[in-house]
């Protein structure tokens, strides 16, 4: 084992990190592996997003092959979307909505930490699911690629929130995310990955150059502004707001794509 070349060791490390990220962020069944390090999973969050979007695209294509109507197909895709993430990010969006509904800023974090879902959390979840479903219904072409982009930009927005704003709690799942991503350089791999995805759209159809550029601009703008808005309201970020950034970026990105696609 000690005579393994450096590139093989680096490949093993990358594979282990990918597995750890998928296990942490999704419910995709993977074999149990000892000694996985979850401390740096946030580095690969956009990659996990593209993987989720790719699987959703395959599910959508399969249902389309069976002749399923687009509205039913979109609703099932969104349901699979929630199931694949275990509701991790959606739960954060719900908790964040409950916290922001509190008039006293000092009590917001306390309310967000409560596992019980309030009325505003339920309304936020309904709004997000409706926006995703209706937006997907209006997107006719390149649905698989659009879903990959939405999931990727949502998780890149999470990285922006992590590196750009202070973390408001001493502990929690979001705490080691903050420790893992400390520099804006950590945003570049995910950004290049998402640029490549838009480039793929342009390569598939040169007439889609405007759409490809629009996806990049919309992704950067929505992800950045969503993270900034939650920081403005709370004075920082928590694990819940990281999830909220993912969900709202995904939903709003899809809504913008319905206009750009036309």
Which tens digits make up the pLDDT trace of 61-76?
A: 999 999 999 999 999 9
Q: Which pLDDT belongs to residue 93?
A: 96
Q: Report pLDDT digits (tens) over 92-102.
A: 999 999 999 98
Classify 62 as helix, strand or coil. Answer: helix
Q: What is the pLDDT of residues 77-128, one digit of tens each?
A: 999 999 999 999 999 999 999 999 988 877 888 888 887 888 999 999 999 9
pLDDT digits (tens, 9 = 90+) for 194-211: 999 999 988 888 888 899
Name residues whose C-beta falls within 8 Å of residue 187's C-beta, 6 or more positions apart in sequence: 156, 159, 160, 163, 181
3-class DSSP state of 218: helix
Which of 10-24, 56-70, 236-250 has the least mean pLDDT?
Answer: 10-24
Statement: residue 173 has pLDDT above 80: no
Q: What is the separation, in whole angstroms, between the first and last Cα of the chain?
A: 56
Q: What is the pLDDT of residue 178?
A: 85
| Whether pLDDT at 179 is above 90 | no
Lowest-pLDDT range, 49-53, 182-186, 205-209? 205-209
CB 112 within 8 A of CB 99: yes
Say what the pTM is.
0.93
Lowest mean pLDDT among 40-54, 105-119, 185-199: 105-119
Average pLDDT, the chain: 91
With beta carbons less than 8 A apart as the criterion, state whether 160 and 184 touch: no
Structure confidence at residue 1 (pLDDT): 47
Q: Identify whether the C-beta of residue 95 lies closer than 8 Å to the C-beta of residue 112.
A: yes
- Judged by DSSP in three states, 99 sits in helix
The CA distance from 231 to 162, in Å, is 11
pLDDT at 8 over 50: yes
| 164-171: average pLDDT | 86
The pLDDT of residue 110 is: 85
Residue 146 above 70 pLDDT? yes
Q: 16-22: which pairs have CB atoms within 8 A and are 24 or more residues apart?
A: 17/41, 17/43, 17/44, 18/44, 18/47, 21/45, 21/47, 21/48, 22/48, 22/51
Structure confidence at residue 262 (pLDDT): 67
Q: Please state the domain extents for the chain.
A: 49-260
């Amino acid at each position: 084992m000690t005579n393994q070349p450096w590139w093989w060791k680096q490949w093993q490390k990358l594979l282990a990190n990918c597995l750890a990220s998928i296990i942490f962020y999704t419910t995709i069944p993977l074999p149990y592996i000892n000694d996985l390090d979850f401390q740096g999973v946030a580095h690969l969050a956009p990659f996990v997003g593209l993987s989720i979007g790719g699987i959703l695209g395959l599910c959508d294509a399969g249902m389309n092959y069976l002749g399923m109507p687009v509205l039913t197909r979109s609703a099932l895709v969104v349901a699979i979307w929630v199931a694949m993430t275990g509701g991790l990010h959606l739960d954060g969006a719900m908790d964040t909505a409950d916290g922001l509904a509190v008039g006293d800023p000092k009590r917001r974090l306390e309310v967000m930490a409560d596992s019980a879902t309030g009325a505003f959390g339920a309304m936020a979840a309904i709004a997000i699911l409706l926006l995703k479903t209706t937006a997907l219904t209006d997107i006719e072409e390149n649905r698989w690629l659009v879903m990959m982009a939405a999931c990727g930009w949502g998780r890149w927005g999470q990285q922006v929130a992590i590196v750009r704003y202070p973390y408001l709690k001493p502990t929690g799942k979001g705490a080691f995310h903050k420790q893992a991503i400390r520099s804006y350089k950590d945003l570049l791999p995910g950004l290049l990955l998402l640029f490549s995805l838009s480039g793929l759209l342009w390569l598939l159809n040169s007439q889609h150059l405007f759409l490809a550029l629009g996806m990049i601009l919309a992704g950067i703008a929505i992800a950045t502004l969503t993270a900034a808005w939650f920081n403005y309201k709370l004075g920082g970020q928590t694990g819940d707001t990281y999830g909220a950034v993912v969900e709202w970026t995904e939903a709003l990105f899809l809504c913008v794509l319905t206009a750009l696609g036309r």
